Amino acid sequence: MKELIKIQTELKAPKTKKNNFGGYMYRSLEDIQEALKPLLAHYGCFITLSDEIELIGERYYICATAKIVNSEGQSVSVQAYAREEEHKKGMDAAQITGSASSYARKYALNALFAIDDTRDADATNTHEDVNITPTQVKELEELIASTGRDKAKMLEYYKVSKVSELKESQFYSIKKLLSRSKNAHQN
């Protein structure tokens, strides 16, 4: 399909949104759709986005399909998956499904239109940052002890009173830092 090649080449969908938590720019599903509309009209094409819910193992996934169709009826489609969270603070079940749908649709469009979006995965994950699990608490407690770090100073830095109040994104940052520290002392 010649039109797809032209649209992929001409599409400009800049990262206009800022993730304040992660400190980087990203683009949303809506940003991509708005950037596509003039090109689709110019080349006589349209896109459709659809979702299906699939049970894989014990988890539900949204399978989004992005499809482009030209004026001759030729089409190309791409699928992308996003897993529904079991629980997200402040969201009901419909919002959780909607969030997974938006995420999957965005990545289906990224694949269809050759949009490089390697840093955007974190954009949606950090908006609803959740507290760490009891397993993560235990892992972090053991890592802090094994590296000899001052737990009180670390908790003060993250403005929490105990390890279990840390957010998941903080857990991964601390784990990465402490793991490097531990490896450096072992070498």
**Long-range CB contact pairs, 68-75, < 8 A, 24+:** 68/1, 68/3, 68/4, 68/7, 68/40, 68/112, 69/45, 70/1, 70/3, 70/43, 70/44, 70/45, 71/44, 71/45, 74/1, 75/1
Q: Based on the domain organization, do 111 and 31 belong to the same domain?
A: yes
Q: Based on the domain organization, do 26 and 104 belong to the same domain?
A: yes
For residue 124, the model assigns a pLDDT of 42
Count of domains for the chain: 2
**Mean pLDDT, all residues of the chain:** 83
| Arithmetic mean of pLDDT, 66-72 | 97
159-169 residue pLDDT tens: 889 988 888 77
For residue 180, the model assigns a pLDDT of 67
More confident residue, 124 or 80: 80
**Of 97, 125, 153, which residue constitutes the final position of a domain?**
125
140-157 residue pLDDT tens: 888 888 888 888 888 887
Q: Which domain holds residue 147?
A: 134-186
| Paired strand residues for 25 | 18
Q: Name the band, by pLDDT with cuts 50, 70 and 90, for residue 38.
A: very high
Q: Based on the domain organization, do 7 and 84 belong to the same domain?
A: yes
Q: Based on the domain organization, do 54 and 104 belong to the same domain?
A: yes
119-141 residue pLDDT tens: 434 444 444 567 888 888 888 88
Take residue 104 and report the two structure tokens written for it.
């999957």
